[in-house]
Amino acid sequence: MPKRDFLQITDFSSDELENLFNLAVHLKGLTERGESPSPLDGKAFACIFHKPSLRTRISFEVGISQLGGTSLYITNQEIELGVRESIPDAARVLSRFVDGIVIRTYSHADVEQLAESASVPVINALTDFTHPCQVIGDLLTIKEHLGTWSGKTVAYLGDGNNVARSWINAARRLDFTLRIGTHESTQPGELVDTARNEGANVEVVFDPVEAVSGAHVVYTDVWASMGQKEASGERANVLRAFQVNSELLSHAHEAAIVMHCLPAERGREITDEVMDGPQSVVFDEAENRLHAQKAILTMIAG
Cβ atoms of 269 and 242 within 8 Å: the answer is yes
Residue 239 CB-density burial (10 A; 0-12 exposed, 13-18 middle, 19+ buried)? buried
**Interface positions with ligand CP (CB under 6 A):** 53-56, 126, 134, 261-263
Residue 229 CB-density burial (10 A; 0-12 exposed, 13-18 middle, 19+ buried)? exposed
Shortest Å distance, C-beta 126 to ligand CP: 6
**HSE-up (13 A, CA, CB side) for residue 97:** 12
Distance between start and end Cα atoms, the chain: 13
Shortest Å distance, C-beta 22 to ligand NVA: 26
Q: Is 243 a catalytic residue?
A: no
> With CB cut-offs between 5 and 8 Å by kind, which of ligand CP, ligand NVA, none does residue 253 bind?
none
Q: Is 216 a catalytic residue?
A: no
How many Å apart are CA 207 and CA 131, to the nearest integer? Answer: 25
How many Å apart are CA 302 and CA 293, to the nearest integer? Answer: 12
Percent composition of the chain: helix, strand, coil (DSSP 3-state, to 5): 45, 15, 35
One residue of 9, 202, 222, 256 binding ligand NVA per CB under 6 A: 222
Shortest Å distance, C-beta 164 to ligand CP: 13
> With CB cut-offs between 5 and 8 Å by kind, which of ligand NVA, ligand CP, none does residue 71 bind?
none
One residue of 161, 182, 279, 288 binding ligand NVA per CB under 6 A: 161
One residue of 5, 221, 269, 285 binding ligand NVA per CB under 6 A: 221
Residue 99 or residue 221: which is nearer to ligand NVA going by CB?
A: 221
Under 8 Å CB-to-CB from 20, ≥6 apart: which residues? 12, 136, 292, 295, 296, 299
One residue of 114, 259, 261, 264 binding ligand NVA per CB under 6 A: 261
Shortest Å distance, C-beta 262 to ligand NVA: 7
Residue 162 or residue 288: which is nearer to ligand NVA going by CB?
A: 162
Q: Is 131 a catalytic residue?
A: yes
Pairing of strands 202-205, 217-220: unpaired
| Residues carrying an active site annotation | 104, 131, 134, 221, 261, 289
Residues that bind ligand NVA (CB under 6 A): 126, 131, 161-163, 221-222, 225-226, 261
